[in-house]
Amino acid sequence: MTFDKDSLHKIVLASFIMAAADGYMDDSELKVIEKFAEEHWQPGWGTVRGMFREIDEEVVAFFEASETKEGELSKEELFFADFLPTISIEFRQVLVDLMGAVMGADGVFEDEELELLEKLKKTL
- In tens digits, the chain (124 residues) has pLDDT values of 889 999 999 999 999 988 887 778 889 999 999 999 999 999 999 999 999 999 999 988 888 876 766 667 777 778 888 888 888 889 989 998 998 899 888 887 888 888 888 877 777 7
> CB within 8 A of 110, min separation 6: which ones?
21, 22, 103
Spell out the residues 6+ positions from residue 118 whose beta carbon is closer than 8 angstroms to its own. none
3-state class (DSSP) for residue 117: helix
User: Domain span at residue 16?
Assistant: 5-123
Give residue 60's pLDDT. 87
CATH of the domain at 24: 1.10.3680
Q: What does pTM read for this prediction?
A: 0.85
Number of domains composing the chain: 1
